[in-house]
Structure 1
């Protein structure tokens, strides 16, 4: 799975979590995403740096080890926009594929 697909899945889960008083963060665990914990943590860090999510707690230790606390992570408005734009692009791509399949 490519990184943008992982980002999309995380944002989709967090967007759905807006309706829940206590979101189930296991849905964005490394195991659920099918990636390594290190990759998941790095993607979450990048997403926060880009303003797609907020509330990620990161503690970097001197020996290079880091701890990521995702218990307060939530989607931002920019994350919702990213989700919407990519959803529309996916629909357009599916439509174009359908048209191409029909023509061929």
Structure 2
């Protein structure tokens, strides 16, 4: 299981400690985070969540994906999959926006 966690700014990162605890308990769990806006207190990657993707994480399309985020992010991930002909993947998603 792999978690790709993308946020706009460092302050938006939440539950990082909880994610780390899960990773310690589940040897096949990997987590990657990315922040869209550069910040002095962030040493990780800067960009959008699809910047974290590599084909090797997606098992040649034999994968189930669960997406939750704003419509542009969900659409970008679906577009990334379409560009790689991963039509065998199953995508479950929830789009949300600020109220």
Tell me the TM-score normalized by structure 1.
0.29
**Which has more strand, going by share of residues?**
2
Larger C-alpha radius of gyration, 1 or 2? 1
Tell me the TM-score normalized by structure 2.
0.29
**Which has more helix, going by share of residues?**
1
